[in-house]
Amino acid sequence: MFVNSKWLILATVVGLYLPVAIDATVLHIAVPTLSKVLYANSSQLLWIIDIYP
């Protein structure tokens, strides 16, 4: 029983963290497009990355 609960806890933590990791990955992939479309300089891009998640 204790082993099953460990796997359940691990699956829950991974399931909760996965959307955050995917969201951060998508943001970093989109940075070049954002800089072109918004004509953002480097400090503005840093602000976008810091404020988004």
Local confidence band at 12 (pLDDT 50, 70, 90 cut-offs): very high
What token pair was written down for 11?
Answer: 């699956």
Whether the CB-CB separation of 27 and 52 falls below 8 Å is answered with yes
pLDDT in tens, 16-47: 999 989 988 998 899 999 899 999 999 999 99
Q: Answer whether residue 1 shows pLDDT above 60.
A: no
pTM: 0.61
Look at residue 51 in the predicted model and tell me its pLDDT.
86
What token pair was written down for 12?
Answer: 């829950």
